[in-house]
Structure formats: C-alpha cells, structure tokens
A and B are shown apart, each in its own frame.
Chain A
Amino acid sequence: MGRVIGKRLFSIMALCAMVGLLLLPIVVVLPSLALGEEATAGGAKKEGATVEKGRDVYYKTEGVVVGAPAPKTTDGPKDYPRYNFESRVLLWFANQQHLYYGSFVLAVPIFCMIIEFMGVVTKDKALAKRYDQLAYDFIKISLTAYSLTAVLGGILIFTFLTLYPAFFSYLSSVFRPVMHIYALMFVAESGTLYIYYYGWDKMKEGFLKWIHLSMSVVLNIIGTLLMFLANSWIGFMMSPAGVDEQGRYLGNIWHVIHTALWNPLNLHRILGNMAFGGGVVAAYAAYKFLAAKTDEDRAHYDWMGYIAMALGVAFLIPLPFAGYWLMREVYAYRQQMGITLMGGLLAWLFIIQATMIGILFLSTNYYLWQAMGRMRGAEKYQRYIKYLVFLLACGYMVFITPHTMVMTPAELKAMGGQQHPVLGNYGVMSAKNGGINVIITTTVLSFVWYMRGNKVSTVSWAKFGNIFMGVFFTCAYFNIIGLAVYGYYIPANVRVGLSVPQVTTTLSCLFFMFALNSMMMKGAKQMGPIEWGKISARSQYALIMLATAFTWMMGLMGYIRSSVRLFWHVNEIMRDNSPWAYTHTVGFAANMISANVLFFWISILFVFWLGSLTAKKAPAEVKVAVPGSVPQPVGSH
C-alpha cells in the first residue's frame, strides 16, 4: 500500500516537474523582457537624447527603435567566409537534415500520445497492452533519433556562424528576447522525453498510467511550442514584421513572431510532420516485417505498419488544404511572391510536387487494396478495384499536366504554341482541383472498403445504407468533376471560388461516409478475423515508397518555400550579396533533394539498427492473450 502511494507521489512529482519545465522558459523570460524595456527607456532618459521611432513594415504601427539596422553585406570573407565549396549547399544540407529529424521527433510523440490513449480507453485488455507496446516501440525509435536531432541542430548553428555570420548575427539580434526561451524549451523537451520514456514501466497501470499519459500531453505541448518558435524565424525571413524598413527591431517581439505567414506555416508543418512521421514509422515497420523470421513478428509489424500508415494518411488528407491556405496568405502578403511560386520561376517545381502528392495517394490506395487480402470476405471488392484505378489514373494525369511546356523553338512551332491543343486544357487550376479531389475521394472510398472488408452489416436498414453510400459517392464524383468543367465557362473571378465547394464535397465524403460506415458496422457480422502478417511483400514496398515520397516532397517544398525569397536573406529587408543569391536550376535542386533524402534514409536506418540493439520484447502475457499464431486486434477498426 505504502509502495503504491510512494509511486503515485513520485509520478505526480514527475508530472509537476514537467509542467515546471514547460513554464520555466516563460518565468525566466519575464524579468528579462521587463528589464529590457526599462533599460531602453532608462538609457534614453539618462542621455537626454530624442527617442527615435520607426514604423513597422507589416503592422504599420510606430515603435521605439531598439535594434541595429540590418547589415548591408558585401561579398567577402567578413560577411561570407567560405570553404572551397558553395556555402548555400552546405547550409541547405545541414538545415534539411535537422528538419527531417526534428519533424520526426516532434511527430512520433504525438503518435505515442494517441496510441497510448487508445490503449488506456480500450476495454479489451490484450488489445490495450498491444497498443501500449506499440506506443513504447514508437517512442523508442524517437529517442535515438532525438540525440541525432540535437547533434544536427548544433551542426546547423555552427554552419550558420561559420558561413553566414552577418546574417545569423542579425537574426539572433532580432530574436534575442526569445532565443534563450528556445534553448530552455529544448532542455524542457529533453527532460520531459527522458522522464516519459524511462517512467514507462513504472507507470503502466491505473492512476499512474493516466499520469504517464498526461506527461505525453506536456511533452507534445513543449514540442509544438518549440516548433512554433522555429517557424517564427522562417516566417520572419519570408514576411518580416516587428522591424522598420531598415530592419531595426521596434521592441515588440510578438510582432516579430506573429508574421503574416506564421500561422499557415505552423498548421502546414504540424500536418506535414505528422504525415512524414507516420510514413517513416510505417517504413520502419515494413522493413522489420520483411526481415521478420516468425509469423508473430510479421503480424506485429504488419499491424504497426498499418497503424502508422493510417495515422500518416489521416494527416495527409487535410495537408493540401493547409497548403492552399498558406499559398492564399502568400498571395495576400505579396502577390508577386505568389506569382513567383505558382506561375513563374518555381512553377515547374509545383508540377513535381503534384507528381509526388499523386504518388503518395496511389501508394496508399495500393497498400489498402493489398491489405484487403488479409481479410476473409474482402474478395467481393476486388473486382471493383479496377474502376478505382481508372479514377485515380485520370485524376493523377490531370493533376500533373503542366500549363506550359519547356520547348525548343522547333517544338513550339510544331505544337502551335506554348500550350498543347488538347492536353493544355488540363493544365489549369480548375482541372487540377478536380483531379486532386477525385484522388482524395477515391482514397476515402478505399478506406471505407477496407474498414468493412471482413464485415457484413446487420442493421435493419443495411440495404438502404449501402445504396445511399454508393449514390452519395457517385454524386460527389459528379459534383467535383462538374465543378471542374463548369470552371471553364465562367470568368476567373468566379471560378476561383469553386475550389471551396470541391473541397467541401471531398470532406463531406470523408466525414459523413466514415460516420455512416461506423453506424452500419456496429455489431456487424464478421466473415473472419484480420489475419495480420498475411499480406504481400509488395504492400510493404508500397509503405517504403510512401515514406520515400514524403521525404522527397518535404525536401522539395522546403526548397520552394526558401527559394521564393530570391536574393533576400530577409525579404525586402536584408539582401543576400553572396555569390549564391540566385535560383538553382530544377535539375540541380532535384539532385540536391535526392542526395538529402538518400542521406536521411541511410542515417535513419542506422538509427533503427541502434534501436534494435536494445530491443525490448513484448510482454509475455500479451503473447498468451492472443489466440492463434497471429495477433488479431481487429476490434480497432
């Protein structure tokens, strides 16, 4: 009894320590901020000098100038010291690797929180333990990657200091009031992560489990705040605020952080990180599945891969819409910036992006179709898959059609213009919006089929439910394609609004059909269990493909976002005068992204291998509780 109370006390103390760590940076910064303001005012009074005021470039408010102007750099060893190599490429590499690992270690604890919560609330004890083990497996992978993230962060700072000292000095001077918060948040994140991980076994039941779960919430709050702070730097570089036109800091740190693009970037990065994290964990599970020696291991990793993929895709589906919001804000901030992105210098990179997005959805669908193979009763859907392939292929081909082609004069003449007489019609937003919405709706349909694969509805209105579902999906396709066609007949200022009803149609399918399916499948008759582990190897390669495409697309989008500043370190405030202030060719960028992806995957394989050295075996009781040779957490669907 006394031991239990001691454990409880210890757990509550650990949770309090985490909350304390979370609040520490804020407590520490308050006096320093106040001191900073007093010092500025006091200094001005003492000297009797006139207080210089400046106007915020974005908020248009007046403020007291408290910072130095942005340095006017010149190409030389003072501002741009260098090795015999392109400094930008070195920084690109360091930044990208840090971002990959950073995204991974921020996303995985969120998965852990969700899975651990599912384990706590589920009534099936065997399933609860499997969820718990899965969450533990996830955090174990994350822990090794976390150390590497910190190392890469250090390398990134050294790269900045060594190769871009003037720029880094300016950026840190503007963000000085929150720089130490970032450092303290990092300490808090590390402390919380280690307590969370090492306290797992000690707090695995009852009240203590809830405390442990609360710790994961605190851990994720810290991680998310950390990311938001890092996002404020790139937001400032793209759409500066809180400084005057000379780049002088005006004393309001919230303006510097809360720039025009900060919130869209935050949302886009959260969703992107989650999708990426899901992809990487799914690839890990696929690798372990392919290397597994026993049926039991294959079943475990098959299940792990499925859960990771499902979580990743759940965040992938809203990702394009968050992307639209980001682009909309970019256009609202500087129309020219939007045109450079979508219709100018970087437009071709968006065609590549569309190709990658299509690959992500095709891989997901392919995996789901393969996964139906492990369910008895799902054969009835197999003959319809060819129609889904047709829809996906049509949507994909329209989605990747470029508006104009890069051609030689002879080719241009032969084709009769920049646009192909037939295919050119598909290279416009109206058609592309239709294409991607068809792809996403088809993915939703595949998911619905998967969820009901081995079940037969027993509700009295089952026949009506099935017919309604079929009609609703058919009408949704007609609506999406109809709106895309309609867009060709109305002016651009009306057409631009059609994307909203298209997206609403897709989301209606997602929410209403998932809800309807769940209602229909309540108490459904099972044709047979899901035979975890009995899935083709091809499906696992689809998961690896999914993860690789995520990684590649993340590198691509990062490059696009960064390149849109063109020859500015800080847009319209601090000019980049290094010899590398130009936009690379598409080919070079693609090679660079591929090199980054390759390095990331080689290094993460090393991390996986390290993780496997300390592999923790599943608790014995779990194995006992599962009937047959393969575990069957079917109730989860």
Chain B
Amino acid sequence: MAVLNNPIVAVIVSLIISVGYFLAVDHFMMDMQGLDFWYLFRQ
C-alpha cells in the first residue's frame, strides 16, 4: 500500500485502471447494442 502512495506509481496505476475501464465501457456498451466501437479503425 505504501508503494501506491508514491505519486508517480499512483498516477500510473490510476491511468491503467481508468483507461482500461473506460475502453471496456466503450467497447461493451456498443457491443451490447450490436454496434462496433472500433468501426473507424477497422476501415
């Protein structure tokens, strides 16, 4: 826990969790509607 209180580690861990979470939200929420979130990148 002490390592997490190091600002640099905290920022990196937070970024990994947050970015991963929001990408998952985008992907699955679109997938749930039968739509492709990555549409533009697959073209």
Q: Is the pair A500, B30 in contact by a Cβ cutoff of 8 Å?
A: yes
Q: Is the pair A475, B22 in contact by a Cβ cutoff of 8 Å?
A: yes
Q: When the two chains form the complex, which single residue of A468, A474, A479 contacts B10, counting CB atoms closer than 8 Å?
A: A468
A156 to B10, CA, bound (A): 62
Q: Is the pair B35, A494 in contact by a Cβ cutoff of 8 Å?
A: yes
Give the A interface residue count (CB, 8 A): 29
A460 to B11, CA, bound (A): 17
Residues of chain B contacted by A486 (CB below 8 angstroms): 40
Give the B interface residue count (CB, 8 A): 25
Q: Does A508 make an interface contact (CB < 8 A)?
A: yes
Q: Whose C-beta in chain B lies nearest to the C-beta of A480?
A: B22
Residues of chain A contacted by B5 (CB below 8 angstroms): 460-464
Assuming the contacts A475-B18, A479-B26, A490-B40, asked whether A497 and B11 have C-beta atoms less than 8 A apart, the reply is no
Residues of chain A contacted by B25 (CB below 8 angstroms): 479, 501, 504-505, 508
**B1: min CB distance to chain A, Å:** 5
Assuming the contacts A460-B1, A505-B22, asked whether A497 and B33 have C-beta atoms less than 8 A apart, the reply is yes
Assuming the contacts A460-B1, A475-B15, A483-B26, asked whether A467 and B39 have C-beta atoms less than 8 A apart, the reply is no
**B2: min CB distance to chain A, Å:** 8
Q: Is the pair A501, B4 in contact by a Cβ cutoff of 8 Å?
A: no
Residues of chain A contacted by B32 (CB below 8 angstroms): 500
A494 to B18, CA, bound (A): 24
Q: Does A489 make an interface contact (CB < 8 A)?
A: yes
A498 to B40, CA, bound (A): 13
A464 to B9, CA, bound (A): 9
Q: Is the pair A468, B14 in contact by a Cβ cutoff of 8 Å?
A: yes
Residues of chain A contacted by B26 (CB below 8 angstroms): 479, 483, 501
Q: Is the pair A471, B18 in contact by a Cβ cutoff of 8 Å?
A: yes
Assuming the contacts A467-B10, A468-B14, A494-B36, asked whether A500 and B4 have C-beta atoms less than 8 A apart, the reply is no
Q: Does A348 make an interface contact (CB < 8 A)?
A: no
Per-position binary interface string of chain B over residues 10-31, scored 1 when its CB falls under 8 Å from any chain A CB and 0 otherwise: 1101110111011001100110
Residues of chain A contacted by B21 (CB below 8 angstroms): 475, 508
Q: Does A265 make an interface contact (CB < 8 A)?
A: no
Q: When the two chains form the complex, which single residue of B4, B15, B30 contacts A471, counting CB atoms closer than 8 Å?
A: B15
Q: Does A476 make an interface contact (CB < 8 A)?
A: yes
Q: Whose C-beta in chain B lies nearest to the C-beta of A474?
A: B18
Residues of chain B contacted by A479 (CB below 8 angstroms): 22, 25-26
Q: When the two chains form the complex, which single residue of A461, A483, A489 contacts B1, counting CB atoms closer than 8 Å?
A: A461
**B27: min CB distance to chain A, Å:** 8
**B37: min CB distance to chain A, Å:** 8
Per-position binary interface string of chain A over residues 495-535, scored 1 when its CB falls under 8 Å from any chain B CB and 0 otherwise: 00110110011001000000000000000000000000000
Q: Is the pair A500, B14 in contact by a Cβ cutoff of 8 Å?
A: no
**A254: min CB distance to chain B, Å:** 30
Q: Which of B4, B13, B19, B29 has the most CB of A within 10 A?
A: B29
Assuming the contacts A461-B4, A479-B26, A486-B40, asked whether A471 and B33 have C-beta atoms less than 8 A apart, the reply is no
Assuming the contacts A475-B15, A486-B40, A490-B39, asked whether A497 and B30 have C-beta atoms less than 8 A apart, the reply is yes
Residues of chain A contacted by B40 (CB below 8 angstroms): 486, 489-490
Those 9 A-B pairs whose CB atoms lie nearest each other, nearest first: A471-B14, A475-B18, A501-B29, A467-B10, A497-B35, A464-B4, A463-B5, A479-B22, A468-B14
Knowing that A463-B10, A474-B18 touch, tell me 12 more A-B residue pairs with CB under 8 angstroms. A467-B10, A468-B10, A472-B14, A472-B17, A475-B15, A475-B21, A476-B22, A479-B25, A490-B39, A494-B36, A497-B29, A500-B32
- Report which B residues bind A (CB closer than 8 A): 1, 4-5, 7, 10-11, 13-15, 17-19, 21-22, 25-26, 29-30, 32-33, 35-37, 39-40
A-B contact pairs, 5 of them (CB 8 A): A468-B13, A468-B17, A471-B15, A494-B35, A498-B30
